[in-house]
Amino acid sequence: MSRNRGAGLKVLERRCMGLRWKGMFIDADDDPTVQLSNSRIYWCVFSQNPVGPDGGSVDEDCCTASRKCYKRV
């Protein structure tokens, strides 16, 4: 796996196993000069889009055990 495994996620241990983000698939060092955007960076493996199966937004803060569609890692 990439050197920056988990780059961009604030709370790795609480995330849903369905949460995906572009950084998971890029083997590159973080570049602090590149502005990060929250526009469709995250998607759900279950719904295959930036909206989860429960109709809620998909991101590192929202995909927690408080959601009905949450699956523990």
Domain ranges of the chain: 1-27+38-73
- Residue 25's pLDDT is what? 78
Mean pLDDT of the chain: 78
Residue 32: both structure tokens together = 């602090």
- Residue with structure tokens 């590192």? 60
Report d(CA 30, CA 8) in Å as an integer. 9
Q: Percent of the chain beyond pLDDT 70?
A: 73
Lowest mean pLDDT among 1-5, 14-18, 49-53: 1-5
